[in-house]
Structure 1
Amino acid sequence: MNLKQKLNFHPLAWGVIFGTFLSRAGFFMNLPFLGIYLYEVKGVDPATTGAILAVSFFVSTFMSFFGGALSDKLGRISVMFASMLLWGFVFVGFAIADQIVTFFLLNALNGLCRSVFEPSARALLVDVTPDDNRIAVFNARYYAINLGGAIGPLVGLSLGASKNPLPFLISAGIYFIYALIILYWHFKYKNKGQQENNLNAVSVIESLRIIAGDKVFRYFLIGNIFVTGAYSHLDTTLSQYLGTVDVSAYSVLFISNTVFILLFQFPIMKLMKKYSYLTALKAGCILFGLGLFGFGLSKSIPVLLLSMFLFTAGEILCFIIGDVLISDIAPNHLRGAYYGAAGLQFIGQGGSAWLGGILLSSLGFGQGVIIFAILGGLAVSAFPFFKFGEILLTKKKEIFTADADEYSVS
């Protein structure tokens, strides 16, 4: 399959990819600076600011399943439109809010909108993309995420996002425009993203029961808790560890993470396309572990950059292939619920960030080798879970093939 064929996505898929870029750019135009804005402009104390920021992650993690399941029942496009419209009003609210309780509510709604929109959008990508092109479409989506994540903060910084509410209103405008685009899809592609929903609709509780009983998905989810936790150290443990000695070194690493993704994402995915999804995930968790261990070996820029390259390669494999794997194991009428349930992997973010802080406090900043060896070891702990999932998935496919052969003979 040549490049032209690989990029021959359904118009809805291109719409989701472009919308992902817009929404992430609008999101990162403000949210990285929200803590500073609350403290310096609104006078909110640091502890309360931390709680306001945390509520979004808490809501997003534990509500994503319900958001995805809702898209299975009501249709992807309808749910995406409602969440994007509400998201726009949330950013308007950030621009005009003054009360602490209002900021708590707004950031909770911010997490809710994300937990509804993200699994619905990923499920829609799968609905309109043939099996053999799903790696390419999720590859393009992840590229859009990182491009938006790179541009958004730069625009926000230039507009003074930490000092005035204007960027919030600009982001709201972006979200409202994207909501109108989704509304257009509703009329043009009203049957897309609803395959089998009416015929096979099940309750949210039944969806939860089916997913809980899926052993392959369960092993994948546990493994992803470890790799998501590994990724969280980029913003938490590593920033604290290097920030006490050389802030500029951390800045170089943080920027290099995005640069490495934009430069090497497609070559890495091309290299891994000959392997199974779970083999790629196993390689990804090992690369995560090696990258984390490397951060503790030396504070010299060359070693840190090499470690960041390994870390980024693990990120690319685990997060892109993880989305494709869900499309492979989820029943068509439960894709949204599966993508939503995958949001539970972000439990690893909070737990790992907390553990990293404990290790820094108890062992000291001079014990980087030990600290990052422990964190790297936890990342590699995902390997046996991915391996168990691979074994079960292989057996499941063998049974399915045998049954199909028996049926064809009879």
Structure 2
Amino acid sequence: MLRSIKACSPSVRMLLWATFTLTLARAITLPYLVVYLADNFALSISDIGLVVGSALFVGSLLSLYGGYLIDKLRSYSVISSSTLIFAAAFVGAVASRSLLLFFVFLVLINLTLAVVDIAAKSGFCALLPENARSEVFSIKYTLSNVAYAVGPFMGAGLFKLDTHWPFIVSAGLGLAMFLAYWRWGDRSPQTGLAGMQKQAFVAVGRLLLKDYRLVCFTLGGVLSAVVFGQFTAFLSQYLVVTTTPEHTYRVISYVVATNAVTVIALQYLIGRRISSRRLFPWLLAGMAMFLVGLLGFSLAQTLLVWCLAMLVFTLGEIIVIPAEYMFIDAIAPEHLRGMYYGAQNLSNLGAALGPVICGFALAALAPQVMFYLLIICVVAATLFYYLGASGLGRRL
């Protein structure tokens, strides 16, 4: 993978490092938000979940407008300003003594990270030939998982020094990325820029709603993100209800490690082989992996079964995420790539809703029913993917 990164153009490498650095900064602080909010604002666990989930929800909605700006303005301007706001938001969050202000800065962190992510995807499509994009998408996703694997350990060490240090270091990473992109980022004009100048955001939004392929794929993405977006949350919820806290901690530690090792080891090898010519069969295979993994979770009684189920589940994640990128790449007009990737980013709404849906299921129904509801989400997502893919004809 490192050899492939070195072979990329400087502009592509800069986009990869931008998404990696900002993802690492967020991963450093994300696991400790619960403790920080409890200590500094005296919130209950349910209120903390509401704050964190709502910030992700609002940030995801606003990212659609961020995609519009990427199409309308130069990517250089959008990425530079987003990385600077990202850094400033961490400073604002750690300095906040008001919960409302903290929430606003948390939304800004999620929003600017999403905007840079959308800009990177759009940039890959502008800078790379079609046959090279799946490999770079896989590199990007692998680097993101490396960041999420390393970030919490960095945060743990910083948190022991002082509860504010994770936020300060994350702000420093954001500022460093701003300076690097300001100095070495690609300043070339955005392709298709002229086509966007005369179109208002609402008009473009209406245009997107008329593309039933995008609508179907966005709905499929939301439903699939319910399943894999925050899988540690619903697995923790299930284990807390059915076992002891000690057993929950042990199982979650192992399944998270299994997920991280599997993604880092196999994402690049599998993802680079996904092509736009056979997208739906790949998606079907990924969704089948989710089904098998969820059935494994529902039946798991031993740590080995939990890890094997997580291995299969992760294979689904490895396939589905790059395939979603490739689908949007296949249907997005050149001058609307930012908006199309912004629409795809709405799948984070599913990630925000997942723990809420599972929490209600665990409170009102038998624990195993939660997994059956998630299986229904997988089946429904597959149906929407099929409807969206069928619009592209035999290519998919």
Indicate whether the TM-score tops 0.5.
yes
1:294 corresponds in structure 2 to 296
Matches within 5 A, 1:145-294: 145-160=144-159, 163-186=162-185, 189-192=186-189, 194-201=190-197, 202-232=199-229, 234-244=231-241, 245=243, 246-247=247-248, 248-269=250-271, 272-273=274-275, 276-294=278-296
Q: CA deviation at 1:115?
A: 3.4
CA distance in 1, matches of 2:111, 2:388: 30
2:119 corresponds in structure 1 to 120
Q: CA deviation at 1:236?
A: 2.2
Question: How many residues get paired?
Answer: 390
Distance change in 2, residues 1:161/1:328 (3 Å): farther
Q: CA deviation at 1:350?
A: 3.4
CA distance in 2, matches of 1:348, 1:199: 32
User: Contact 2:227 / 2:377 at 8 angstroms: preserved in 1?
Assistant: yes
User: Contact 2:57 / 2:348 at 8 angstroms: preserved in 1?
Assistant: no
- State the TM-score, normalized to the length of structure 2: 0.91
2:349 corresponds in structure 1 to 347
Which structure 2 residue ranges, 5 or more long, are not aligned? none
Task: Write out per-residue CA displacement over residues 94-144 of structure 1, whole angstroms, 9 at most, x where no aligned residue.
Answer: 222222222122112223323322212221122111111000000000011
User: Contact 1:285 / 1:314 at 8 angstroms: preserved in 2?
Assistant: yes
Which structure 1 residue ranges, 5 or more long, are not aligned? 399-410
- State the TM-score, normalized to the length of structure 1: 0.88
CA distance in 1, matches of 2:272, 2:304: 26
CA distance in 1, matches of 2:377, 2:76: 38
Matches within 5 A, 1:9-24: 9-24=8-23
Q: CA deviation at 1:378?
A: 2.0
CA distance in 2, matches of 1:149, 1:232: 13
Is 1:328 aligned to 2:330, yes or no? yes
Task: Write out per-residue CA displacement over residues 318-361 of structure 1, whole angstroms, 9 at most, x where no aligned residue.
Answer: 11121122112101110001011112222222333222122212
Q: CA deviation at 1:204?
A: 1.4
Distance change in 2, residues 1:274/1:122 (3 Å): closer
- Compare CA radii of gyration and give the structure with the larger one: 1
User: Contact 2:217 / 2:388 at 8 angstroms: preserved in 1?
Assistant: yes
User: Contact 2:138 / 2:268 at 8 angstroms: preserved in 1?
Assistant: yes
1:401 corresponds in structure 2 to none
Q: CA deviation at 1:79?
A: 0.5
User: Contact 2:70 / 2:338 at 8 angstroms: preserved in 1?
Assistant: yes
Task: Write out per-residue CA displacement over residues 237-288 of structure 1, whole angstroms, 9 at most, x where no aligned residue.
Answer: 2111123422201211112111110112133335655961222122212211
1:406 corresponds in structure 2 to none
Distance change in 2, residues 1:136/1:47 (3 Å): same
Q: What's the secondary structure of 1:308's corresponding residue?
A: helix
User: Contact 2:89 / 2:109 at 8 angstroms: preserved in 1?
Assistant: yes
Task: Write out per-residue CA displacement over residues 66-101 of structure 1, whole angstroms, 9 at most, x where no aligned residue.
Answer: 000101001111111111101101111122222222
Moved more, 102-111 or 82-91: 102-111
1:218 corresponds to which letter in structure 2? V
1:63 corresponds in structure 2 to 62
Is 1:380 aligned to 2:361, yes or no? no
User: What RMSD over aligned residues (CA atoms) do the two structures have, in Å?
Assistant: 2.4
1:234 corresponds to which letter in structure 2? F
Q: What's the secondary structure of 1:190's corresponding residue?
A: coil
Distance change in 2, residues 1:350/1:164 (3 Å): closer
Q: What's the secondary structure of 2:191's corresponding residue?
A: coil
2:323 corresponds to which letter in structure 1? I
Distance change in 2, residues 1:349/1:357 (3 Å): same
CA distance in 2, matches of 1:135, 1:271: 7
CA distance in 1, matches of 2:295, 2:161: 34
Q: CA deviation at 1:199?
A: 4.3
Q: What's the secondary structure of 1:160's corresponding residue?
A: helix
Moved more, 283-292 or 268-277: 268-277
Q: What's the secondary structure of 2:392's corresponding residue?
A: helix
CA distance in 2, matches of 1:162, 1:223: 43
1:159 corresponds to which letter in structure 2? L
